Amino acid sequence: MYSSLGMATARPSIMMKFLIAAIACCMLLPSITAKADGLTVEPTARYRFQQVNDPIRGDAQASTLKVRLSAAWKDQSPVSAFVQADYVEAFNENGFNSVTVTRNASPIPDPPGGELNQAWLQYTGESNWYLRAGRQWLKFDNERHVGTIEFWQNDQTFDALSLVYNDSLNWDISLVHIERAHRIFGDDAKARLPENDIRFEVNPNRPVFELGNHDHNSHIINARYSADRRLAVTAYAYLLENESAQRLSTNTFGARLSGEFKPEAIKYAYTVEFAKQKDSGDNPWQLDANYTLVELSAQYKSHQLMISHERLGESNGFGFATSLGTNHKFLGWADVFTNYISTGGIRDTFFTYRGRAAKLRWRIVAHQFRDDGSGDIAGNELDLELGFRFNRRWEGKLIAAKYFAKNGIPTLPASQQNLSTWSLSLAYNF
């Protein structure tokens, strides 16, 4: 899993009271959404148990519960506001490596603690645009380059200023300035390691890639034009200047074409994307790598088959970096290849089958990974997801992934041994 992969360890009693009260509301009331003078308040919760069988770093089990309280305010004025607070409880904190505190176990980056997840003000103009300032989600396209990583119990959010134009027909344009990235490792992942971290005695300083917050002076441009269902064109520039981890400073320019058409009973869809990345700012590494994605799918009623090929290229010994992306979604759910920056490139060819029957839905994904430099097969992986929606508010989910090592990648020891993981979750209104 993460090879380099929130309020603090001392948890105040008020947070525990909030946890208990919110769980009680979720369990006992059919609806806790309250509306008064434009105010909407909503609690949600998600419990997850995850097991990892890792022969290199050690087996791990994580039993965690996230409780979230969201409040939105919107009336007839052009100003709106949103606040969202999270609290994560780990019932077996010593049973896994949360990355915030590294233990002799496989990484499961779900550290306990509380955080202010989002807090923003928005001004909506009369001509299909809005300005949003504060801590917020940022998601673009398929979240490969910028996303929220919602699989883990602690989201990735951003202190940012966003100017968005969306006419709900053809154009969707975003201009964003990022001041800080609040990462999945939480506010407790500070520069100095805690004393119960197994690395503390050797070096008490945390690697910069594991910091819970990264300061930025970064800019994002994403412009999408939809001609119709058959063709949408996106052009983007992600100009990242990471002041906390200079090796994550990159300039990425790319374009994406996507669309769908349904001549008869079968719906066909396609996506083609290409990006070019170079180092920027004070990055000491000489990055000059390409990214490509090609996807083709066919869907009949509630059944879809898809074939995809993703390549994160390499140059000068460094691979294409996706430091703000929702990386768990890509390169297999076992997270063997989930890195924020890599010393090599990788190619992933995968087949996906999705289906649905009544309240049950499923997804099966088969991957073949190749080292981009040598072309050798690094390994194969099989992923499975089963979801069951009991009703509008409750959903259960089972996710399993099995990685079968072959040649592995020399710079990534985790890729040289078989690894498996599974998780079971129950979510309320999530």
Residue 370, CB-side half-sphere exposure with 13 Å CA sphere:
13
pTM: 0.91
Beta strands (DSSP E) in 39-112 are 39-53, 60-74, 79-90
- What's the Cα-to-Cα distance from 328 to each of 39, 79, 109, 240, rounded to whole Å? 34, 35, 11, 20
- Note the pLDDT tens digit of each residue in 254-287: 999 999 999 999 999 999 999 999 999 889 888 8
- What's the Cα-to-Cα distance from 389 to each of 50, 386, 396, rounded to whole Å? 20, 10, 6
Confidence (pLDDT) at 60: 96
DSSP reduced 3-state for 21? helix
Helix, strand, coil in percent for the chain, rounding step 5: 5, 55, 40
**Residue-averaged pLDDT of the chain:** 91
CA 224 to CA 60: how far, in whole Å? 42
Q: Is the pLDDT of residue 363 over 50?
A: yes
Average pLDDT over residues 49-66: 96
- Note the pLDDT tens digit of each residue in 133-160: 999 999 999 999 999 999 999 999 999 9
Q: What CATH number matches the domain at 13-428, 3.30.470.20, 3.30.70.20, 2.40.50.140, 2.40.160.10?
A: 2.40.160.10
CA 48 to CA 235: how far, in whole Å? 37
Q: CB within 8 A of 127, min separation 6: which ones? A: none
DSSP reduced 3-state for 25? helix
Break the chain into its structural domains and give their ranges: 13-428
- Note the pLDDT tens digit of each residue in 388-405: 999 999 999 999 999 999
Q: Is the pLDDT of residue 309 over 70?
A: yes
Q: Is the pLDDT of residue 412 over 50?
A: yes
Place of tokens 């923003």: 120
